[in-house]
Amino acid sequence: MAADMEASDGRAAVQRRRRVWSLEEKRLIVAECLEPGASVSLVARRHDLNTNMLFTWRRQLGAGGAAPAQPVSFVPAAITAEGSAVPCSRGSGRIEIVLASGAQVIVSMDVDESALARVITVPPSCSASSSRRR
């Protein structure tokens, strides 16, 4: 197709050509998006890009912003004999459990395990009538 085609109404038809961006250009544009307070949409408009293309470049270049700001570290945990656990004295002493149905179960930390198990395993048809149990 020729670039100087004529549209059916007599106007000159404009053909858009696919641009080719170098890797360095992509990196510079992606770097603009990563600046504090930068808007991906505004950066895309400034460079006459589709916003989705810019997100694709970010993903391809590994600049998705998913990396943590601080290095990840682990807290050492000691595994002890089952009977030597010491109850925690901090907090409210309440346990809140949100079930898949959306129902909430709030109990004190000294709740009887078997009673709690019975409450949590109530058939879904029964738990729909009451969304909050204590």
- Please report, for the chain, the start and end positions of each structural domain, with discontinuous segments joined by +: 23-60, 91-133
Q: Which is higher by pLDDT, 3 or 45? A: 45
The CA distance from 83 to 91, in Å, is 22
Could you report the per-residue pLDDT of 16-45, keeping only the tens digit for each? 778 888 999 999 999 998 888 889 999 999
Q: Which amino acid does the sequence have at 105?
A: V
Kind plus residue range of the DSSP H or E element containing 105: strand 104-108
pTM above 0.85, yes or no: no
The mean pLDDT value for 33-61 works out to 90
**Percent share of the chain, pLDDT over 70:** 60
